[in-house]
Amino acid sequence: MTAELFREDSTLRECEARITVVDATGIQLDRTVFYPQGGGQAGDAGVLCLTDGVEVRIVDTRKGAQPGEIVHLPAPDADLSALQVGTAVTARIDWQRRHRHMRFHTATHLLCALVPHPVDGCSITADYARLDFHMTEPLDKETLTQGLARLVAESHAVTHRWISEAELDANPSLVRSMSVQPPRGQGRVRVMQVEDVDLQPCGGTHVANTAEIGPVIVTKIEKKSAKTRRVVLGFAEPA
């Protein structure tokens, strides 16, 4: 089990850790700030820094084969010869990239509030975010962009708390997503709240206030199928 420091504090950029596994599948640590791909959000990239200054570049982070495992994927050309179980490292994420994930991810929660239909697909990257809504009605690009701008400008606080699985079962309407069910089996589920706007189970990383999202626009609306409308978001400022 890797301690998931990003679940309690998504603003952590680095942490001290020790290697618990290093093999052909990748590198595991006793604790990490690297978010593993999941819930539609891309995995983190960054570096593992050894005490002698050597840096191992991490290009992606995935969940492992066993529950609770987080695997840091080294660059194909990385030299892993100095890495052993027990080796101390500083694990540091590419914060610029992650912060874009957090801004887009929080924006998708705002979109959920503007489009009150079930979500049946989601993808969050550093360059765009897209949400697929299970619905037949048309959506208007300009109206949604204006709605997002309003919610960003209103500076709503974004917080998380943990609720029991029993509490979740008693409130099935909390689950907005049809394809992504909250992770089960730990007895508790993480719930994200955008004050006065949105409440749903979510394990991803978010900014602390909607104002931190900055200018975001709807770049595309697609009819993916008879019952699916895809909304694509981009940042208004250049990358």
DSSP string, 84-123: -TT-EEEEEE-HHHHHHHHHHHHHHHHHHHHS-S-EEEEE
Segment 167 to 196, residues that bind Zn ion, using CB under 5 A = 192
Of 57 and 188, which CB lies nearer to Zn ion in the complex structure? 188
From 36, 46, 74, 204, residue interacting with Zn ion (rule: CB under 5 A): 204
Amino acid at the residue 206:
H
Tell me the closest approach of the beta carbon of residue 158 to Zn ion, in angstroms: 9
Using CB under 5 A as the binding rule, whether residue 17 contacts Zn ion is answered as: no
Tell me the closest approach of the beta carbon of residue 239 to Zn ion, in angstroms: 22
From 139, 180, 202, 207, residue interacting with Zn ion (rule: CB under 5 A): 202
Are the CB atoms for 19 and 85 separated by under 8 Å? yes
Are the CB atoms for 231 and 130 separated by under 8 Å? yes
The residue count for binding Zn ion (CB under 5 A) is 3
String marking each residue 20-39 x if it binds Zn ion according to CB under 5 A: --------------------
Tell me the closest approach of the beta carbon of residue 210 to Zn ion, in angstroms: 13
Rounded Cα gap, residues 31 and 23, in angstroms: 17
Rounded Cα gap, residues 145 and 115, in angstroms: 12
Binding site for Zn ion (CB under 5 A): 192, 202, 204
